[in-house]
Amino acid sequence: MDRLLKETAERVFADHVTRAAWDDAESGIFPAALWAVVEKTGLHKVGGADSGTGWDDLFGLLTVAGRHAVPLPLAEMLLAGTVVADANAAGFTTIAAGGLAPWPTAARQVLSIEGQVSSEFGCAPASNLAGEPFAWVELLNPRPVAVPRELPTLLAVSRVALMAGALERVLEMCIAHATEREQFGRPIAKFQAVQHGLAVLAGEVAAAGSARDGCVAACGTPRFVDEAAAAKARVGEAAGIGAELAHQVHGAMGFTHEHDLHRFTRRLWAWRDEHGHETVWQTRLGRRVAAGGADRVWDFIVGA
């Protein structure tokens, strides 16, 4: 990922993803101030045609967004930008998969993964586990648009990138908490049981990062669909294990609304389900492995 882009994204999100923005989002109020900064810095154009950026930057930006639990439908915006010209000019485009889209109420238009786009649509509100507004949408007077066959897979990979970023942040929060929080006269980080829990968490975080790198590196190659399946399956597992350990380390404080941990863990629980949970992608991947036969299992693993 481009270094300047990464630094810009880190700074923008660190400064502008506030508790108020999170709370607004959960109340169905679009965080307009945050969106305005994203627009101003041009982050919403990353990965789009003529932006001079590619898949590595797009998914890199989503990983940074995951690190900050950005309460915008950034994944849908950016992926829509790779499909529809001017998707995010004067408003943004969200994507409906299975009829369900994040933030259609704030969007200028909705793109469906079946290849239709419209700025007129009916909405039936819903929300994900993180409280982010979703809605079932019905496109009115849609026009057809060519969407790549891999769009559903790209949406799954967007969740992989978001989860990998959120897991990094959750590990940092756990280390900070365990070294500050004292019980029995010493920081809880000094207890072996706590250390081992955090070591397991660190393993899951590192595995998530590697799986993410694997499918991002495979973008645009014939290997992409297999790497993406492996990553969504593996990172989904890491999200569940990681969130569980993080809450155990944080104790009751981490179970409160006041503590920020849930901004990340609730998103992890949402993202591991969105666009196919672990079993969905495991089954898909397993069928591909099995089709090659037992004597080609290793070929499949190494991509030979």
CB 12 within 8 A of CB 38: yes
Q: How far apart are CA 132 and CA 129, in angstroms?
A: 7
Which of residues 195, 221, 255, 256 is near another protein by CB under 8 A?
Answer: 195
In whole angstroms, the minimum distance from the beta carbon of 12 to another protein comes to: 24
120 SS3 class? strand
Q: Which listed range, 77-85, 105-113, 127-135, 274-282, lies at the site for another protein (CB under 8 A)?
A: 274-282
Site for another protein in 63-102 (CB under 8 A): none
118 Cβ contact partners less than 8 Å away, ≥ 6 residues apart: 109, 110, 139, 140, 141, 142, 143
Site for another protein in 138-177 (CB under 8 A): 175
H or E segment at 93?
strand 93-96
Q: How far apart are CA 76 and CA 57, in angstroms?
A: 15
Alpha carbon dihedral 227, 232, 238, 241, in 10-degree steps, equals: -150
Strands ordered across the beta sheet of 109-112: 93-96, 109-112, 116-118, 143-144
Buried b (16+ CB within 10 A) or exposed e, 286-299: eeebeeeeeeeeee
Which of residues 2, 26, 213, 244 is near another protein by CB under 8 A?
Answer: 213
CB 93 within 8 A of CB 76: yes
Contact map string, positions 228 to 267, toward another protein, x by CB under 8 A: -xxx-xx--x------------------------------
Q: Is 185 in the site for another protein (CB under 8 A)?
A: no
Closer CB to another protein, 139 or 235, in the complex: 235
Closer CB to another protein, 93 or 153, in the complex: 153
Q: What is the DSSP string of 190-241?
A: GSHHHHHHHHHHHHHHHHHHHHHHHHHHTTTSTTHHHHHHHHHHHHHHHHHH
Q: Which two tokens stand for residue 227?
A: 């790497």
In whole angstroms, the minimum distance from the beta carbon of 302 to another protein comes to: 7
In whole angstroms, the minimum distance from the beta carbon of 286 to another protein comes to: 3
Q: How far apart are CA 25 and CA 33, in angstroms?
A: 12
Closer CB to another protein, 46 or 218, in the complex: 218
Which of residues 100, 123, 200, 225 is near another protein by CB under 8 A?
Answer: 200
In whole angstroms, the minimum distance from the beta carbon of 249 to another protein comes to: 11
Q: Is 214 in the site for another protein (CB under 8 A)?
A: yes
Q: Which listed range, 20-28, 30-38, 47-55, 294-302, lies at the site for another protein (CB under 8 A)?
A: 294-302
Q: Is 137 in the site for another protein (CB under 8 A)?
A: no
Which of residues 123, 190, 240, 248 is near another protein by CB under 8 A?
Answer: 190
Residue numbers at the binding site for another protein (CB under 8 A): 175, 178-179, 189-190, 192, 194-196, 198-200, 202-203, 206-207, 209-211, 213-214, 216-217, 227, 229-231, 233-234, 237, 278-279, 281-287, 289-291, 293-295, 297-298, 300-302, 304
